[in-house]
Amino acid sequence: MLRSVRSLVRFARPEWRGSRRRLARCGNIDDLRRIAQRRLPAGVFDYIDGAAEDERTMAENAAAYGRVRIEPRILVDVAKVDASTTLLGRRMPYPLALAPTGFTRIAHWEGELAVARAAAKAGLPYALSTLGTRSIEELAAVSDGDKWFQLYVWRDRGLAKELMARAREAGFTCIMPTVDTAVLGRRERDVRRGFTLPPKIGPSTLVDGIRHPAWTWNLVRREPITFSSVAGHVGIDGSTAVALSTYVATQFDPSFSWRDIEWVRSEAGMPVMLKGVQSAADVRTAASIGVDAVVLSNHGGRQFEGAPAPLDLLPEVMDSVGESIEVLVDGGVRRGSDVVKAVRLGARAVLIGRPYLYGLAAAGEEGVSWVISHLTSGIDRTLRLTGAPAIADVVLHRDAAR
Ligand SMILES: Cc1cc2nc3c(=O)[nH]c(=O)nc-3n(C[C@H](O)[C@H](O)[C@H](O)COP(=O)(O)O)c2cc1C
């Protein structure tokens, strides 16, 4: 009797570390999102989770993946699968990169450093935002992985030029101008809350802060959050609370246009990838002037509400530019099978934004690593379950092949 009870009951070793305990209970990115929602003040969670206007574009980005079907093939030897690829001449183990996100330390005090370390450990590129809360040099000090610098162009062009030179000096391998942000999209969750960066302390934010003591304690005992790469530039470095829409309207150059891309290319001294391209016509223009790569992206639905889902654009884009330019996509990627679908439809790689921010908020660097391995193991599993040793072997159902 005792023996049979002993064979049935096994006591799990208690996990003392909160981050590990939280991750152990997660099955997918949605679970992480719920933990992030619990741990972050509501205004901060909404800044990360929200999108423009009715948020339909954000929803469509993800829904587009659900419309693509794969036809599993059987009895194929999938003991070994390989999803590795080459991007901008560099080898990577999976067609996955971590997108730039502004103000990352608002999710977790380690911010961009945690993201960069997790990306480097997995051998994946990470793009530091112009509005990053750790500087180009701080990032280079913790990561010898592949680092890209996302560029917003200020009215003061000298600043953009200086940042590109510093990124080059620090060993970054790609300059990524974001081209979908002439003004900020209308993010109505932030409008309603009067959300600023850094958050202003008022009665409602105070209550929010008290209800999230771990987050608040970590915020107040660290150095202030600013746009670290431009620290010391008064009015620009984010040291005074400002609505992001006002910041973008007053600081970034809305006249930035195609003729300036040549200037970026000449200053960059490294490959240039345009992020935020939303039509086949613009991909053709980018290819024709020698841009190295584009990211089909609507900024995760945070900019223009009503743009096509990047995945839906891919077949037309690939038909029209072929191999003449490297094409990536982002927005709505939540599973390894999504990555496989995008790559099978022609993308070189995909980027993720919110998923790693949820992971960061839930469990710091370990949370980011959890997200990466959730996606990479999902890629391998998809290949095995569909009888495809490589992504090129995946058979799309004819509706998706278009
Ligand atoms: C909180 C947050 C901040 C962002 N900040 C930037 C930024 O500074 N620069 C940029 O080019 N894109 C920015 N993005 C967009 C991401 O790079 C990416 O395009 C988007 O998150 C992809 O969609 P996904 O979140 O569904 O993965 C941001 C996205 C989020 C969620």
Q: What is the pLDDT of residues 344-386, one digit of tens each?
A: 999 999 999 999 999 999 999 999 999 999 999 999 999 999 9
% pLDDT > 70, the chain? 98
Indicate if the pLDDT at residue 400 is higher than 70.
no
% pLDDT > 90, the chain? 83
Mean pLDDT, range 177-198, rounded to an integer? 94
Distance 12 CA to ligand 1 centre (A): 39
What pLDDT, on the 0 to 100 scale, is given for residue 140? 98
Query: CA torsion 237→239→242→248, rounded to 10°?
Result: 10
Q: Is the dihedral of CA 191, 41, 127, 68 positive or negative?
A: negative
Mean pLDDT, range 274-293, rounded to an integer? 98
What pLDDT, on the 0 to 100 scale, is given for residue 387? 98
What pLDDT, on the 0 to 100 scale, is given for residue 402? 47
Burial class (CB in 10 A: 0-12, 13-18, 19+), 260: middle
Alpha-helical (H) ranges within 123-257 are 136-142, 157-169, 188-193, 203-211, 213-220, 244-251
Each domain of the chain, given as residue ranges in start order, spans 25-401
Q: Is the CB of 352 under 6 A from ligand 1?
A: yes
Best probe residue, ligand 1, of 295, 299, 352 (max atoms within 8 Å of C-beta): 299
Indicate if the pLDDT at residue 401 is higher than 70.
no
Distance 298 CA to ligand 1 centre (A): 9
Q: Report the alpha-carbon distance of residue 376 to residue 391 in Å, rounded.
A: 13
Residue 341 CB neighbour total at 10 angstroms: 28
Going by CA atoms, what residue is nearest to atom 20 of ligand 1?
A: 300
Low-confidence winner among 45-49, 194-198, 352-356 (lowest mean pLDDT): 194-198
Q: Is the CB of 197 under 6 A from ligand 1?
A: no
What rounded mean pLDDT belongs to the chain? Answer: 94
Distance 132 CA to ligand 1 centre (A): 12
CB 402 within 8 A of CB 69: no
Q: Which residue has the higher pLDDT, 133 or 206?
A: 133
| Residue of 318, 294, 346 lying closest to 68 (CA atoms) | 346
Ramachandran sector of residue 322 (left: φ over 0; alpha: ψ -120 to 50; beta: rest): left
What pLDDT, on the 0 to 100 scale, is given for residue 351? 99
What pLDDT, on the 0 to 100 scale, is given for residue 1? 65
- For residues 194-232, one letter each, b for 16 or more C-beta atoms within 10 angstroms of the residue's C-beta and e for the rest, the string is ebbbbbeeeeebeebbeebeebbeebeeeeebbbbbbee
Going by CA atoms, what residue is nearest to atom 28 of ligand 1?
A: 101
Distance 81 CA to ligand 1 centre (A): 30
Q: Is the CB of 100 under 6 A from ligand 1?
A: yes
Q: Report the alpha-carbon distance of residue 226 to residue 198 in Å, rounded.
A: 8
Give a three-class secondary structure readout of 68-105.
CCECCCCCCCCCCCECCEEECCEEECCCEEECCCCCHH
Indicate if the pLDDT at residue 186 is higher than 90.
yes
- Tokens linked to 319: 């038909």
Looking at the DSSP assignment, which residues form a beta bridge with residue 390?
A: 82
Which pairing describes strands 174-177 and 273-277: parallel, antiparallel, or unpaired?
unpaired
What pLDDT, on the 0 to 100 scale, is given for residue 252? 92
What pLDDT, on the 0 to 100 scale, is given for residue 16? 84
Q: Is residue 374 among the annotated active site residues?
A: no
State the pTM of this model.
0.96
The three-state secondary structure class of 12 is: coil
Mean pLDDT, range 30-54, rounded to an integer? 97
Q: Which listed CATH number (3.30.70.100, 3.40.50.10420, 3.20.20.70, 3.40.50.10330) goes with 25-401?
A: 3.20.20.70
